[in-house]
Structure formats: structure tokens, C-alpha cells
Amino acid sequence: MSQPLFLQPVFQERIWGGTALKDQFNYDIPSDKTGECWAISGHPNGQSTVVNGEFAGKTIGELWNEHRELFGGHTSPVFPLLTKILDANADLSVQVHPDDTYAKEHENGELGKTECWYIIDCDEDAEMIFGHTAGTKEEFVKLIEKGEWNDLLRRVPVKPGDFFYVPSGTIHALCKGTLVLETQQSSDTTYRVYDYDRSDAEGNTRELHIEKSIEVTTIPHRNADVQPSVEKRDGVEVTKFVEAEYFSVYKWQVDGYSSFVQDQPFQLASVLDGEGTLRVQGESYALKKGDHFILPADVETFEVEGNLELIVSHV
């Protein structure tokens, strides 16, 4: 029978992590330095597991390899997307990600990493690093070598509800006091440019990747042209944030009852707030804040009822 695939996330501890994933979503986190919830993941470094139905206990990677029909027969060799929630309790390193071509050659066939962020919550004065000021590669290298980070890095203010599209090659960093849902290509390749000269509990500094960063950074910086659009219909307001090469991302603000037709091979959904009910083929599934699920290809129609905010994506 057609049914959604509800998922058990995987949690990752980070030097910059905190407790917001427990405080805001009631997750059972491993420590007070928990930085990442890998909510919908088929990546070998942290795979989500199905918790309901005939595929309970299976990882997304196993389903991708053994039951490709659930995903409309998509041809990617690996599950292509990764949904995370990030708790930036301290500043993340300034970083950049490679594109597919560079990653395939230099990172053992790994995908590149284009990503995007939806700001769930943040401090009143929160900001992020997004891009750089260098006009040429020579200027970029010079500012890095001199450590003139305040001159090189662009800082932008953020507020809850903001959306940022971050193509590969973009210098970026989440800063202290932000809670973010990230939709990205399924990749775990990050090149650190600057880490504030921090050390871990053992006194070790984290590895930097200056040469690779210089090779993959887009110079000069280009802001992606993102033009969100809003569609209102019975019971739901759908905001389309981006429709791009690797993924499309939407916010569904459900208020009451709404019916949907599945017009994609499969969709990923995360409940960021509220509670309600998902109905598929006459079966009801409770939805609450912090739930994550996949609507596979054989779910042709479905209904959502309640007061909920969801972030939904597809390839």
C-alpha cells in the first residue's frame, strides 16, 4: 500500500553546536555540542532510517539501491538530496564547497555541494557571511595571505523566514545564534578557508583547505537571483523559494485542510512548526514539529490538515 516514509534522523556533534535541536524540536541529542540533525539523508556519513511500514529499519541508501521504484526510477547513482537542521550555537568556519566536476576528480567521486538555507530562528542581531569582496583571484589570495578577513568577507543580517541560495563556489558561514533548515546536494565535502584560529578540547586547530578553496571559489562573488513566489489556495499558502538545477524548495503554510497531487517523482518534507494530520489512501498519519518524511512515487494524492509549517523539496 502507498504510504509516506517517516524517518529517524542522525545527529552530528560539532565544535560550534549547542542544544537548540533538543530545546526547539525535543530531539534526543547526544550532547550539548550537537550541531547537525541529518533529517533526510542517504549519505554514508549519516543515513536516516525508516520507522514505519513495510520498510521500517531500512536506510534511505538501502531503499535507493533496492527499491528505486519508490523514487520514480530516478537515475542518480546515489540518493541526491540531504536535508539538515543546523544549530549554530557559535560561528561556523568560513567555507566553500566544490561543484560536481571538481568533487568527482578530487574527492573520490563525491557530489559537489550546492545548498540553501531557510532561517528557522535566530538572535535579534544575527548575521551570516555570504560572499566576498575580491574582484580578482590575485586580490582574493592577497587578502587571505594577509589575514584581512574583515576586508574580504561580506556579512549580511538575517531574520527568521529568510531564504538563501548558496551555489557551489560561494564563500559562506552561518554565524552564532542561528537555527537553519538546509537543503543540499548529498555531499559532505567542505573546504575551510578560515576558522577564527579556534582549537578543540584537545588544543588542536581544525584543518584548513586554502589551496582547494582558492581553486573552487567563484571570483568575483555573484549573488544568486532568487525570486520567491507565493500561491494561495484552499487551506495552504505555498511559497516557492527556488527552482534550480539540483533541487526545488518550497514552504507550505497549512491552515485548515488542503489536498495535493504528487507531481514529482518523490518529495521530501520537514515539519518546522505546528501539528496536524497527513492522509494517504484513507490512512491517517499524525504530524508534529520535528517530523521528517518522504512522499514516494506511488503516493499520487494526499491531504494535509491542521496548522503546520513545512519545508518541502524535490529534485
314 assigned ligand-binding residue: no
124 assigned ligand-binding residue: no
Which of 14, 192, 198, 222 is labelled catalytic? 192
Run of H or E including 4: none
Contact 147, 71 (CB under 8 A): no
Report how far residue 243's alpha carbon sits from residue 249's, in angstroms, rounded to the nearest whole number. Answer: 7
Reference 45, options 14, 74, 19; nearest CA is: 14
Contact 42, 60 (CB under 8 A): yes
Helix, coil or strand: residue 312: strand
115 assigned ligand-binding residue: yes
Burial group, residue 54, by CB count within 10 angstroms (0-12, 13-18, 19+): exposed
* 192 part of the active site: yes
Return the residue matching grid coordinates 568556519: 93
Distance of CA 27 to CAs 10, 21, 122, 291, 310, Å?
10, 6, 19, 10, 17
Q: Give the 3-state secondary structure of 151-212.
A: HHEEEEECCCCCEEEECCCCCEEECCCEEEEEEEECCCCCEEEECCCCECCCCCECCCCHHH
| Residue positions forming the annotated binding site for Zn(2+) | 97, 115, 172
Q: Which residues form the catalytic set? A: 192
| Residue positions forming the annotated binding site | 97, 115, 172
